[in-house]
C-alpha cells in the first residue's frame, strides 16, 4: 500500500509526461529516476565506496541516453563501454583484492538491474500505442499491489516466501493477479480498445506475476544488504527502488510483448 500511496502523489506528473510529454521529456524523466534508483542500489550494496557508486550511478544514467536512438547496436555499445570502463577502473582502484570481484560484480549488476531494465520504458514509449502500454503496465502493477494487500490482509494464511518477505501470502499473491486482470480489463474498455481480451488477460498475468517477483527480488536485496528501505527520498515511503521494484521487472516484459506479440 505504500507504493499505492506514493503513486497517488506522483501519478498526475507521470501521466502528464506519458500522455502530453514528448518522447525526449519522458526519457529525461526516466533517466533522472534511473540515476536516483542506481544511487540507492549502490548505497545499499557498496556503502564503503561512495566515490565509485556516485560515478557509476551518473554513468549508468548516461547510458540511458543511448536508448533514445532506439538502435540496438548503439545501446549495446553504450552498455559495453560501461562494463569495460568500470572493469578497468576496478583493476587499478581496488582497496582490498579480496573484495575486488564482489565489488566489480555489484557495480555491473547495478547497471543491469536499474538502467537496463528501466530503459525499456523509453523503448516502449516509442512504439505504436506506446503511451497506452505504459499506462496499462502501471494499472496492472498498482491494481495488483492494492488487491494483494487487501486480499492478503483478509485471507492470508499461507506464507509465500517467508525468508524474503514474511508478510506476503499465497492468497495475497493470487488476489494480486486477479486485481491485475480486473484493472487491465477496465483499462481496455475505457482507454485501450485496440487490445483484445486475450492480450489483455495474458498481459495482466505476465506483468502481474513479474511485478510481484520484482517486489520479492528487491526485498531479497534489502535483506542481503541489511536495510529496511532502499532509501529515504520519499518521506515515510522509503526510496525510489522501493517504488520501482515491480516496474523494473514488468517494463521489459511489456516492451517485448508489445513489440513481438501485440498486433493491433
Averaged pLDDT for residues 47-59:
81
Q: Is 157 within 8 Å of 169 (Cβ atoms)?
A: yes
Q: Which residues lie closer than 8 Å to 46 by C-beta, 6 or more apart?
A: 52, 53, 103, 106, 107
pLDDT of residue 264: 76
Band of residue 234 on the pLDDT scale cut at 50, 70, 90: low
Q: Would the pLDDT of 10 be above 70?
A: no
Band of residue 6 on the pLDDT scale cut at 50, 70, 90: very low
Euclidean distance between the first and the last CA atom of the chain, given in angstroms as a whole number = 34
pLDDT tens by residue, 78-117: 999 999 988 898 888 888 898 889 988 998 999 999 999 9
Q: Would the pLDDT of 238 be above 90?
A: no
Collect contacts of 52-59 with beta carbons under 8 A, ≥24 apart: 52/89, 52/93, 52/103, 52/107, 53/107, 53/110, 56/86, 56/107, 56/110, 56/111, 57/110, 59/85, 59/86
> What does the mean pLDDT of the chain come to?
89
CA 185 to chain centroid, in Å, comes to 23
pLDDT of residue 1: 47
pLDDT of residue 231: 60
Averaged pLDDT for residues 203-224:
96
Q: Would the pLDDT of 144 be above 90?
A: yes
Domain boundaries, the chain: 2-261
CA 25 to chain centroid, in Å, comes to 19
**Which is more confidently placed, 116 or 231?**
116
pLDDT of residue 230: 67
Q: Which backbone phi and psi does 160 adopt, to 5 degrees?
A: -80, -50
Band of residue 228 on the pLDDT scale cut at 50, 70, 90: confident
pLDDT of residue 2: 46
Which of 43-47, 61-65, 216-220, 232-236 is the least confident region?
232-236
Amino acid at each position: 500500500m505504500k507504493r499505492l500511496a506514493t503513486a497517488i502523489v506522483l501519478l498526475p506528473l507521470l501521466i502528464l509526461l506519458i500522455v502530453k510529454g514528448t518522447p525526449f521529456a519522458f526519457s529525461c524523466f526516466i533517466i533522472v529516476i534511473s540515476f536516483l534508483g542506481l544511487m540507492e542500489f549502490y548505497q545499499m550494496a557498496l556503502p564503503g565506496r561512495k566515490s565509485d557508486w556516485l560515478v557509476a550511478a551518473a554513468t549508468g544514467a548516461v547510458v540511458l541516453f543511448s536508448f533514445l536512438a532506439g538502435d540496438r547496436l548503439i545501446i549495446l555499445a553504450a552498455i559495453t563501454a560501461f562494463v569495460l570502463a568500470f572493469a578497468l577502473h576496478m583493476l587499478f582502484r581496488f582497496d582490498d583484492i579480496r573484495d575486488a570481484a564482489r565489488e566489480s560484480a555489484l557495480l555491473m549488476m547495478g547497471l543491469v538491474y536499474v538502467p537496463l531494465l528501466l530503459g525499456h520504458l523509453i523503448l516502449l514509449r516509442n512504439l505504436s500505442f506506446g503511451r497506452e502500454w505504459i499506462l496499462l503496465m502501471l494499472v496492472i502493477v498498482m491494481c495488483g499491489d492494492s488487491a494483494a494487500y487487501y486480499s492478503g490482509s483478509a485471507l492470508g494464511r499461507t506464507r509465500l516466501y517467508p525468508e524474503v518477505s514474511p508478510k506476503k501470502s499465497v492468497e495475497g499473491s493470487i488476489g494480486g493477479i486477479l486485481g491485475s486482470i480486473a484493472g487491465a480489463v477496465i483499462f481496455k474498455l475505457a482507454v485501450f480498445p485496440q487490445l483484445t481480451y486475450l492480450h489483455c488477460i495474458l498481459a495482466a498475468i505476465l506483468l502481474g506475476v513479474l511485478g510481484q517477483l520484482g517486489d520479492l527480488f528487491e526485498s531479497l536485496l534489502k535483506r542481503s544488504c541489511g536495510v529496511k528501505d532502499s532509501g529515504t527520498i520519499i518521506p515515510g515511503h522509503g526510496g525510489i527502488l522501493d517504488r520501482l521494484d515491480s516496474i523494473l521487472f514488468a517494463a521489459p516484459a511489456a516492451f517485448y510483448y508489445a513489440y513481438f506479440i501485440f498486433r493491433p
